[in-house]
């Protein structure tokens, strides 16, 4: 027999579970901010109401039966109740009701699947209708396209029409339909952006896609939702929704090459660094840049537009200091108003270079044959690299 303390414990646990349905949680699907997310939320509510109705009817019938046919003091304990084989009308009726309820859930579910699997006709979202900046040839009649790629354990975002590549954070315009093409580069990942859209797998060798249209500006948080290895739980990303003009400004800014620390061009910096390092200023930024392109072996995996750093195994770092986080969203350095906390960012850069294996176990930056496990950097050198990274904006 179940005791009262156990029932109390169960009630407390069930109450605590309600805290998992917080509207304010940054990855809460019950606070939709996009048309796809809203439709999925509406479908979820439909299933909740249908299953709630079933629970109420079946549970109510069960309680009534238990109460109606409970043992009474006046009952003859030696007599048997009348025996019957059942009621065919009720049995067939319940089967019919079950089928009807299944149809009620299945039809809108299929409609939602078809709705998300086809790009909507939205001429106002085509680049030629709203984007005033330069785009690739013959793209005016296309929506904005973002190629999202999943790696262990980070995301890359390529804008082929705009000539931009970012790592772990990307931006989209408010109120415009955007096509996101998805693929895994090593193992199966899953792209999940709950407040704006749903979840679609990223599979090596297969091109999937989703489309999104965000209603409100702001930061939106997502993550990989398919177990993909040792640091799966630390594989996150950020989507930034911007008003149309701010998005164009963001594109223009992201197209710019970060200036070298002490020369007119990166070519000049590399030449002096190799042939006449004494001609360069004796600053942490300059020393950090030299370490980045030299002893630190960072260019083996990372790229910076406009420089000879063209690695493909790690995130593009061209404007990494403009991001609100590093390490695929795990180390945050963003203030509540959306501005960057530079002091915290510098510390995050330092921590990531110094102890990336502790922060994200199994990461390639540490375990690659040319990775940090085989590079002997002093604390001062790590600080210098972090100082240089903070100039990439």
Average pLDDT, the chain: 90
Give the separation between CA 74 and CA 95, rounded to whole angstroms.
37
Task: Please state, for a pLDDT cut of 90, what percent of the chain lies above it.
Answer: 66
Six token digits for residue 346: 């510098």
Q: Please state at what angle helix 35-68 crosses helix 88-117, rounded to 10 degrees.
A: 170
What integer pLDDT is reported at residue 372 of this predicted model?
85
* Superfamily of segment(s) 266-389: Cytochrome c-like domain (1.10.760.10)
Please, are residues 174 and 242 in contact by the beta-carbon 8 Å criterion?
A: yes
Six token digits for residue 5: 């303390």
Strand, helix or coil at 373? helix
Give which of 185, 197, 240 is closest to 33, Cα–Cα.
197
In sequence order, the 6+-apart residues with CB closer than 8 A to the CB of 248 are 131, 132, 133
What integer pLDDT is reported at residue 3 of this predicted model?
62
pLDDT at 30 over 90: no
pLDDT at 75 over 70: yes
Please, are residues 37 and 215 in contact by the beta-carbon 8 Å criterion?
A: no
pLDDT, average across residues 317-323: 94
Length of the chain: 393
SS (H, E, C) 100-158: HHHHHHHHHHHHHHHHHHCCCCCHHHEHHHHCCCCCCCCCCCCEEEEEEEEECCEEEEE
Give the separation between CA 166 and CA 316, rounded to whole angstroms.
6
Q: What are the angstrom distances between the C-alpha of 5 and each of 2, 38, 111, 229?
A: 9, 41, 47, 41
pTM score: 0.86
H or E element that contains 48 = helix 35-68
Q: What are the angstrom distances between the C-alpha of 298 and each of 23, 36, 290, 382?
A: 41, 39, 10, 12
For tokens 């083996």, name the residue.
Answer: 300
- Higher local confidence (pLDDT), 233 or 296: 233
Torsion angle, CA of 316/318/319/325, rounded to 10 degrees? 30
pLDDT, average across residues 302-324: 91
Q: Is the peptide bond before 153 cis (omega within 30 degrees of 0)?
A: yes
Is the dihedral angle over the CA atoms 361, 365, 370, 374 positive or is it negative? negative
What does DSSP say about strands 236-242 and 199-202: parallel, antiparallel, or unpaired?
unpaired
What integer pLDDT is reported at residue 296 of this predicted model?
83
What integer pLDDT is reported at residue 315 of this predicted model?
94
Domain spans, the chain: 26-55+97-243, 266-389
| Tens of pLDDT, residues 190-249 | 999 999 988 999 999 999 999 999 999 999 999 999 999 999 999 999 999 999 999 999
Burial class of 314 by CB neighbour count within 10 A (0 to 12, 13 to 18, 19+): buried
pLDDT, average across residues 324-339: 90
pLDDT at 1 over 60: no
pLDDT at 81 over 80: no
pLDDT, average across residues 291-310: 89
Give which of 74, 318, 278 is closest to 310, Cα–Cα.
318
Strand, helix or coil at 201? strand
What integer pLDDT is reported at residue 28 of this predicted model?
83
Going by pLDDT thresholds of 50, 70 and 90, the confidence category of residue 20 is low
Residue 139 CB coordination number (10 Å): 17
For tokens 């704006």, name the residue.
Answer: 196
Q: Please state at what angle helix 266-275 crosses helix 284-293, rounded to 10 degrees.
A: 90
Give the separation between CA 346 and CA 75, rounded to whole angstroms.
81
What integer pLDDT is reported at residue 21 of this predicted model?
62
pLDDT at 250 over 70: yes
Residue ranges in the chain assigned as alpha helix (H):
4-17, 35-68, 88-117, 127-130, 244-254, 266-275, 284-293, 342-359, 364-367, 379-389
Domain 26-55+97-243 has CATH 2.60.40.420: yes
Give the separation between CA 137 and CA 163, rounded to whole angstroms.
12
What integer pLDDT is reported at residue 309 of this predicted model?
86
pLDDT, average across residues 178-199: 95
Strand, helix or coil at 248? helix
| Tens of pLDDT, residues 123-166 | 999 999 999 989 999 999 999 999 999 999 999 999 999 999 99
């Amino acid at each position: 027999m179940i005791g009262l303390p156990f029932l109390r414990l169960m009630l407390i646990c069930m109450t605590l579970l309600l805290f998992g349905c917080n509207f304010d949680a940054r990855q809460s699907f019950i606070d939709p901010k996009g048309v796809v997310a809203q439709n999925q939320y509406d479908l979820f509510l439909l299933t909740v109401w249908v299953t709630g109705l079933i629970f109420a009817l079946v549970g109510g019938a069960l309680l009534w039966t238990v109460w109606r046919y409970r043992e009474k003091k006046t009952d003859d304990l030696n007599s048997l109740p009348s025996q019957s084989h059942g009621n065919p009308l009720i049995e067939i009726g319940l089967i019919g009701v079950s089928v009807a309820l299944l149809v009620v859930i299945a039809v809108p579910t299929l409609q939602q699947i078809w709705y998300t699997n086809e790009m909507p006709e939205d001429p106002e979202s085509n680049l030629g209708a709203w984007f005033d900046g330069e785009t690739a040839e013959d793209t005016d009649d296309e929506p904005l396209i973002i190629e999202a790629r999943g790696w262990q354990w980070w995301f890359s975002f390529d804008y082929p029409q705009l000539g931009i590549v970012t790592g772990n954070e990307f931006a989209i315009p408010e109120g415009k339909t955007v096509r996101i093409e998805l693929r895994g580069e090593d193992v199966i990942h899953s792209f999940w952006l709950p407040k704006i859209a749903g979840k679609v797998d990223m599979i090596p060798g297969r091109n999937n896609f989703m489309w999104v249209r965000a209603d409100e500006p702001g930061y939106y948080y997502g993550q990989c939702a398919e177990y993909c290895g040792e640091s799966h739980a630390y594989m996150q990303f950020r989507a930034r929704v911007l008003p149309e003009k701010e998005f164009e400004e963001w594109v223009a800014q992201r197209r710019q090459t970060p200036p070298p620390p002490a020369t007119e061009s990166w070519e000049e910096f590399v030449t002096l660094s190799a042939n006449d390092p004494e001609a360069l200023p004796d600053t942490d930024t300059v020393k950090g840049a030299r370490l980045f392109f030299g002893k630190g072996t960072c260019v083996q995996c990372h790229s910076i537009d406009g420089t000879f750093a063209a690695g493909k195994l790690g995130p593009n770092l061209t404007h990494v200091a403009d991001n609100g986080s590093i390490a695929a969203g795990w180390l945050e350095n963003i203030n509540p108003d959306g501005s960057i906390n530079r002091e915290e960012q510098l510390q995050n850069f330092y921590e990531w270079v110094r102890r990336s294996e502790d922060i994200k176990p199994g990461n390639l930056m540490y375990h690659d044959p040319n990775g940090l496990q085989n590079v002997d950097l002093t604390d001062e050198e790590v600080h210098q690299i972090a100082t240089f990274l903070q100039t990439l904006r």
